[in-house]
Amino acid sequence: MPYIAHRQVKGNIYRYLVESYRQDGKPRQRPLKYLGATPNLPQDAPTAVVLFAGGGGVECGMVAAGIRPVLSVEHDPIKTGLSSALARNNHLNFKPYGGKIISQTVEEIAQAGFPDFPGNLDYLHASPVCSNFSLASQGKEGTEDINAAIATAQAIRYLQPKCFTLENVPAYQDSESLYMIDQTLKEEGYQIVSAVLDAADYGVHSRENASYSRQLGEAHQDYQLSCGK
């Protein structure tokens, strides 16, 4: 599976998309594409935690917007091989920005009380598994979806982020899962804004993955999180 490798040359860090392979029994890397210089984030950049992180698509956007992803959670007990590979790539991609990966489910971490999570968090994002809400599944919500929503709501209450976003497919907006998260946000004093976004409008060469995005405003009126220019 390809991942981003970093090379430091004369004090500057450059990024390459590479893939691993074995030759004569030895692990090697093959560069696929040069990605340019690594974005330089200031020490006081807003900090973020990502739940259900996958390979780090959201974290890529955060870094581009000047936000530092300090912690990502990725583990799928059903697809452990794929999830482990995604978590590994996530770690390799965002380690230069101080990012750490936790290979446990969000539910397990919530039950443990979110140990080692950062305080005074600027931004929390969640991308719960969407497969049960896809057109193929006809939006059949399962117990695992409810449990993921409960854990997400617990994260909001515990971490008290200044901003929270959630991304999923359009059918998720009518789910019990989202209702539970919405209720938690309202109880915690957040302002809620929702939108249906088409990935093709943002440079992705596909209209099939149009996603439902819910952006949640700050609980503290004197704080504003800027996500780029």
Radius of gyration of the chain (CA): 18
pLDDT at 223: 28
Residue 215 φ then ψ, to 5°: -105, 130
69 forms beta bridges with 48
User: How many CA within 13 A on the CB side of residue 89?
Assistant: 21
Question: Is 50 exceeded by the pLDDT of residue 103?
Answer: yes
* Residue 180 burial (C-beta neighbours within 10 Å; 0-12, 13-18, 19+): middle
Total-model pTM: 0.79
Q: How far apart are CA 98 and CA 77, in angstroms?
A: 26
Average per-residue pLDDT for the chain = 83
**What is the tens place of the pLDDT at every residue in 13-52?**
788 888 888 888 888 888 888 888 778 899 999 999 999 9
The continuous run of DSSP H or E covering 149 comes out as: helix 143-159
- Spell out the CATH class of 41-216: alpha beta
Question: Is 70 exceeded by the pLDDT of residue 210?
Answer: no
The continuous run of DSSP H or E covering 24 comes out as: none
Domain ranges of the chain: 1-38, 41-216
